[in-house]
Amino acid sequence: MRRGLAPVLENAQIIRVEQRRENLRFPFPDRFAERLEGQRVTDVARRAKFLLVHLEDGLVLIGHLGMSGSFRIEEGGDDFSPDAFTHERSKSAAHDHVVFYLSRQDGRPARVIYNDPRRFGFMLFADGAAINEHPSLSGLGVEPTGNSLDGEVLSTLFAGKKTPLKAALLDQRLIAGLGNIYVCEALWRAGLSPKRAAGTIATAKGKATVRSTRLAENVRAVIAEAIAAGGSSLRDHVQTDGSLGYFQHSFSVYDREGEPCPRKECRGTIMRIVQSGRSTYYCPSCQR
């Protein structure tokens, strides 16, 4: 989502903000629209699943999509009249909660629209000078992107933990940014049971193990592939241009209960179990 928004938002000026309701998951900040209007966007960043829109006066707009949130971009013609926007989608307009009207450097208008049927998403303000101290970000663990997550890091994080691997990987205080789908997929690729105690792939001193290294490699690979594919779109969850991400076509286990395990030479069947209230999909035959 960040990659989709950055080309349109960066260096654009926010001309007007239409806030169509008082709250999403949380109330909007006081004077939400007024504090954004007139400002230029200096940077569009991300931490874990939080979108960070930096503004010229140091304010940061923190956005989160929750379960069902999405942004879409509508490119304008010569002005902001309704006719100037060609991709109006009346289907979801009932849940269009915020509209950002932008003036870009090339002079062409655009708008960025936040849609969220369940309203589990939210938008907050933070101080750019102390962005990592914001309550939503201060407790977050390591990023699963890039090359920093390796067997040693995982072993250190999981050492001594009796909590199931599934729960440990979802714990944003340890690794920040993995969701239910990618945890299921990474565990399947690594051949590790979601029920195994997290500490059993680690050593007491946090030394890399065969299993922690294999899991770290597969976590990184799943995330990298999903980003390259434009994310995982379920139902109406879309990219900024309105198209669906297509990583969901690559799922090996997620939402595949009852199907044969896709691993070569494995004759197991994908099972669905519930762990800490969330669905886990895995192959009991090859994930140990």
Q: Which residues contact DNA by CB under 7 A?
A: 25, 48-49, 64, 66-68, 94-95, 117-120, 135-136, 161-164, 167, 172, 179-181, 232-237, 248, 272, 276-279
The whole-angstrom separation of Cα 152 and Cα 129 is 32
The nearest distance, CB 56 to DNA, in angstroms, is: 26
Using the minimum distance from each CB to DNA, give the nearer residue, 104 or 278: 278
The nearest distance, CB 73 to DNA, in angstroms, is: 18
Alpha-carbon separation of residue 130 from 58, 59, 133, 161, 248 (angstroms)? 10, 10, 5, 31, 36
Using the minimum distance from each CB to DNA, give the nearer residue, 21 or 267: 21
Instruction: Kindly give, in sequence order, each residue whose CB lies less than 8 Å from that of residue 106, ignoring residues fewer than 6 positions away.
Output: none
Using the minimum distance from each CB to DNA, give the nearer residue, 172 or 269: 172
Q: What backbone torsions phi and psi does residue 248 show, to the nearest 5 degrees?
A: -60, -25
The nearest distance, CB 106 to DNA, in angstroms, is: 32
Using the minimum distance from each CB to DNA, give the nearer residue, 97 or 111: 97
The two three-digit tokens of residue 254, written as one number: 């997620």
Using the minimum distance from each CB to DNA, give the nearer residue, 7 or 160: 160
Pairing of strands 122-127, 271-275: unpaired
**Strand-pair partners of 27:** 23
Instruction: Kindly give, in sequence order, each residue whose CB lies less than 8 Å from that of residue 220, ignoring residues fewer than 6 positions away.
Output: 144, 145, 146, 147, 149
The nearest distance, CB 142 to DNA, in angstroms, is: 14
Alpha-carbon separation of residue 152 from 3, 69, 202, 207, 265 (angstroms)? 30, 35, 8, 5, 30
The nearest distance, CB 191 to DNA, in angstroms, is: 22
The nearest distance, CB 50 to DNA, in angstroms, is: 7
Using the minimum distance from each CB to DNA, give the nearer residue, 13 or 68: 68
